[in-house]
Structure 1
Amino acid sequence: MDNAIRKPYAALIGFYPNDRGELIRAIEKSFLDQRFGPGRLPEPLSRKGECCVIGGVAPHAGYSYSGPCAAHLYLELAETTPRPETVVILGTNHTGYGGFFTTTTRFKKWATPLGDVPVDIEFIEALMDKSSRIVDEYLAHLEEHSVEVELPFLQYVYGDEFSLVPITVKDATPSMARDVARAIHDTARELGRRIVLIASSDFTHHGYMYGYVVFTENVAENVAKLDLSIIEHILRLDTEGFYKRLTETGATVCGYGAIATLMEYAKLVGGVEAQLLRYYNSAQLTGEEDIAVGYAAIAFRKQG
């Protein structure tokens, strides 16, 4: 076993197919989904020059649930944004290992059934020099799916010719988000890297299994209203309002720290507008309201 290669854990536990052909079909099915997806495959750089996506929010559930939603962001990237040199993925920390922001230099490549993605070790080391909030702990990434599930979509639209900076985020405050956003922004500038920043997050997790039940009727509709009231703050890049709304509602948005970091990064880039490309929740997808998990694709575009 090559310890320098991070194996596709999420594929092994069923988030997406562990076979190359089946995976490509699953990704294309997500794009072609007429109800929840874009309804078409991306046309590479078909809108070149209109704008550039500097980052975005994408969900990280199993592809059969959130794949069509994620496809909206990756279609936008494929059609408007030349392949970045490095993609920084801010995932949710579900395992609890590591610190508030946790990366890893242990793995030199991350494997998926579509190939191996190299890790930008130079970027990671420079990033940790700029912010003591970012720690290096591979255990936070061994059995974490939130970074990994974004990779096959990125490989589908960009091939393997980009590098990865994986970071998991947990319980980050607005000041932590600002600090890490500044470190990412300054590192990219100093190294001359063209980057895209992805915040991998689902939205409200509603149901007894999540310990969060506030609606007993019209659950799908009410969870959607709740999530959209949170997303309003994201679209305005209103980090403080975003945190305030989460506190008011107790909404279980797992990657809120990752999203806040992306918002703060967008402010540093300047001239960035956020647009909600697609929202739905699992109850709207399945018709079963005992569980409802929200999914959103949000593009952060710099005009011109």
Structure 2
Amino acid sequence: MRYTLSMGPHCRRRSFRTIAPIRITSKARGNSMETTVEAGILSLSDAQKSTIHRAASELFAAAVLNLPARLSNRDLSGAGGTKVIGAFVSVKRQGRLRSCCGFLGEETTVAEAIEKAAERTATDDQRFPRVSPLELPYMELETWLLHSPKLIEAKGHDRAAAVEIGKHGVQVARAGNRGLLLPSVATEAKFTPEQFLQQVCMKAGLPPSLWVEDETQLWTFEGLEFGGPIEAGAAKEGALVPGVPYPGEILDRIAKGCADNIFLLYRGATASYVLNGCPDGNVAGIALFINEPGTPETMEVSKMSMRPLMPLQSSLFMLCQGAAAALKQRAKTRHGPQSLNLAIAILFDPVMHGTVAAPDLRGFDPTKRALLVAEGQNNAWLYDPEKTAEQLLEDAAKAAKVTTPEAAGVFSLGICSSGKPLSVVRTVEPQIGPTVRGANQAGRFYPADKDELNATLDKLFEGDAPPAEAWPAVMMPHAGLQYSGKVAADALRRVKIPSTVIVLCPKHTPLGVEWAVAPNEEWALPTGNVPSDPALAKELATTIDGLELDGAAHHMEHAIEVELPLLQRLAPEAKVVGIAIGAGTYARLEKLAEGLAYVLDKRKDDVLFVISSDMNHFATDEENRLLDEQALAALETLDPHKAFDAIMDKRISMCGVRPAVVVMETLKRWNRLNKAVRTGYATTADTTGDKSRVVGYAGMLLG
């Protein structure tokens, strides 16, 4: 799995200052070891590296344990006073990044640099839960001492020549956005210089193509890296198990206070915002399990946040409010429940254990901790002292509906509970929705008025076109019709449209399941409804693993809706089935293609695939056209896997690359992927005249 390293939150706010090369010579007392920074090049002896690594380990462990992170001996075998312009400390577990923070652009000594970087890595990396003492025995620690910053003065694509992979790290700054990647990122991910510069732009929250622009400032820097397992002394300190913050008597008091509050809130009375006699504190999760005596159902209300943590008392009050509201909704009598059985679980001290594909369960004790599996919007945590760690992992992954084990994170959390076994499952469940899917993007992507929409379509389809031919697939853009409609219309009018059309699009919203086939019977438009084929949609969802009937995913999705007016104009009787595709590995996309080929092979009528996709997003017009040419050339190889790799490796933001791959793989299984023909190309600049930030649009026939 690829990963990127970033500055901690404090470092992101620092300004980068170019510092002249430093020339220093110093000698350690008694052993004649020399430390030199000659023309900006840092050199340390093995003994000095070992001393610094030991010190960084101790500083890091102290910060994890909430102890003062300060060096007792700042000499560091003669290296402590050496000048550097930054430092990063990176910790990994089983080779997987766990935390990394530091700074660049501040001239300081090695001693001061590792103090700052080690403490920040232990406490400040907002991408991950704070490091737990339980993790220290299983971690590797790397120290980077940074030097030799240099502004890249070249222009355009020539900037890549200034970056030497394996030697340079890179930093980018533009309009308040700033990002940094250490030299190891490029070597571990096997980036080219261009990919390295794209990645650092993305790290800064910028479009990946902006590295070529003059307004983007770029620097290279060099670093001396060394490390290894966290020193035994520091790791041993971390083996101390964190204490239980809410023992039985306090937990019972909290549970009783919650039950009292739920009754008060249910009846509209004033509840206690702070539970008397109960402590506060920051926790990672809370769950209330509520049962009315005499009923088999248990209601669960819960909340979780591993970064930042949650204040206990105010979070409990919010959960009690939610529980009271839920009880009101399902009350059987006006007076509601007369008593409640309430169990509570409080989660704390989150620990990362890798992924479902590569778990590292060392340090996990099922009798004291719950196990959490999370992938995308789905997650599940389980606590069962009677099961092994491996059993809990298997059960949690199943409950969380894991589809990509490499992307599903595994965590454990300390737990204080008044019951066992316990579980909380949060998964996105498909929703059938209305039989007619509304024209939800009318007025945004196309005219909401019937006459205006017809006039727009008249203009898009005006003029002569080549005779329509039988093609199994067409790629069309899906921006507003005023921007991409002409390219889409020119592609579609080249195709004989059969009675069934399947539109595959990227999933642009977080709503619904990851892979969703639209369950509606019709699609509403200002010009009249477009029929779907619910029977085919159901068969696809039933047959293909991971594909579900879900109206929520399609509720606000524009990438199918924008194509409907064009399809309706040319083939008003055609049935249109929509499939939205979110994340997915290539192996999963192949499985989806296999399922499509299998289901559609049994049909006697022809089917047209529509790939709904825009091309690259938000580069200059010149750069966008260059990237789009590379993406289209990749598709023209007729090798879907190579095309996918090329587009992803070049960071081309073609949003429909996965739908394109699925269609190409399906056609390949039918021996119908033999030719690709471009039908048109444009960018938003062709409409607006603004070439500073554009999106590309292309039409292509495949068959």
**TM-score (normalizing by structure 1):** 0.83
Residue in 2 aligned with 1:22? 452
SS of residue in 2 equivalent to 1:56: strand
Residue in 2 aligned with 1:216? none
Residue in 2 aligned with 1:225? 626
SS of residue in 2 equivalent to 1:230: helix
Note if 1:102 corresponds to 2:516.
yes
Note if 1:275 corresponds to 2:677.
yes
Q: 1:290 aligns with which of 692, 697, 701?
A: 692
Residue in 1 aligned with 2:507? 93
Alignment of 1:134-173 (within 5 A): 134-159=547-572, 161-173=573-585
Alignment of 1:1-304 (within 5 A): 3-12=434-443, 14-32=444-462, 40-42=463-465, 46=467, 51-77=469-495, 81=496, 83-105=497-519, 107-159=520-572, 161-207=573-619, 219-272=620-673, 273-301=675-703
Stretches of 4+ aligned residues off by more than 4 angstroms: none
Q: Deviations over 1:34-77 (max 9, x none)?
A: xxxxxx1558xx45xxx411111100000110001101111102
Q: How far off is 1:169 after superposition? A: 1.0
Q: Which has the higher helix share?
A: 1
Residue segments in structure 2 that go unaligned for 5+ positions in a row: 1-432
Distance in 1 between residues matched to 2:576 and 2:553, nearest whole Å: 16
SS of residue in 2 equivalent to 1:240: helix
Distance in 2 between residues matched to 1:144 and 1:228, nearest whole Å: 27
The residue type equivalent to 1:16 in the other structure is Y
**TM-score (normalizing by structure 2):** 0.37
Q: Deviations over 1:260-284 (max 9, x none)?
A: 1111122123243111111121124
Q: Which structure is larger by alpha-carbon Rg, 1 or 2?
A: 2
Contact kept, 8 Å, 1:174 with 1:239, in 2: the verdict is no
Residue segments in structure 1 that go unaligned for 5+ positions in a row: 33-39, 208-218
Q: Deviations over 1:232-261 (max 9, x none)?
A: 121222222222222322121111111111
SS of residue in 1 equivalent to 2:605: coil
Contact kept, 8 Å, 2:634 with 2:647, in 1: the verdict is no
SS of residue in 1 equivalent to 2:511: coil
Closer/same/farther in 2, CA of residues 271 and 197 from structure 1, 3 Å limit: closer
Q: Percent identity?
A: 27
Contact kept, 8 Å, 1:108 with 1:118, in 2: the verdict is yes
My pick for the range that moved more, 58-67 or 219-228, is 219-228
Closer/same/farther in 2, CA of residues 268 and 114 from structure 1, 3 Å limit: farther
SS of residue in 1 equivalent to 2:447: coil
Contact kept, 8 Å, 1:28 with 1:41, in 2: the verdict is no
SS of residue in 2 equivalent to 1:9: coil
Contact kept, 8 Å, 1:181 with 1:264, in 2: the verdict is yes
The residue type equivalent to 1:11 in the other structure is A
Contact kept, 8 Å, 2:538 with 2:549, in 1: the verdict is no
Q: How far off is 1:31 after superposition? A: 2.7
Larger relative contact order (Cα-Cα within 8 Å, sequence gap ≥ 6): 1
The residue type equivalent to 2:668 in the other structure is K
Distance in 2 between residues matched to 1:129 and 1:115, nearest whole Å: 30
Distance in 2 between residues matched to 1:62 and 1:29, nearest whole Å: 14
Q: Which has the higher strand share?
A: 2
Distance in 2 between residues matched to 1:179 and 1:222, nearest whole Å: 34
The residue type equivalent to 1:7 in the other structure is G
Distance in 2 between residues matched to 1:108 and 1:236, nearest whole Å: 37
Q: Deviations over 1:115-143 (max 9, x none)?
A: 21222111112212221121122111111
Count the aligned residue pairs: 270
